[in-house]
Amino acid sequence: MAGQYRGRNKLRRLQKVESGKSVEEVVQELRKTKTDSCNYREQSLKIHGLICAKCAREFDDTNRHLLTVHHKDGNHHHNPSNGTNWENLCVYCHDDEHSRGTLGDYLNKSKLIG
């Protein structure tokens, strides 16, 4: 039982963070921020349409889950509302796009070694 009380006291100490906000307030702000930043997918789909920018495969409501948003500059926090950092890629092209850098790094390392 004593350990259980110690845990409650620790939780009470954590109720206020450095900013003076309660944990609940911080969590609510983080959830709102996450919701706002997650809307970039829907924005990109509206701006660029349900089509893969690389292979030109067209999507509809039944398979739109296979269409992803690629950040051109690689920074998923850079989400301008005009969509200039986004391109819609199907899951296959998106995987290919990200594996190219990995393959290139691997090949460059093998050239340096060999």
pLDDT tens-digit profile of 50-97? 999 999 999 999 999 999 999 999 888 888 889 999 999 999 999 999
pTM of this prediction?
0.59
Higher pLDDT, 60 or 112: 60
| Helix %, strand %, coil % of the chain (to 5) | 55, 10, 30
Split into its structural domains, the chain has a count of: 1
Inter-axis angle of helices 23-38 and 40-48, nearest 10: 10
Q: Is the model more confident about 9 or about 73?
A: 73
Domain assignment of residue 65, given as a range: 2-113
Give the span between the Cα atoms of 85 and 76, in whole angstroms: 9
Interval 13-23 mean pLDDT: 62
Cα–Cα distance, 56 to 106 (Å, whole number): 29
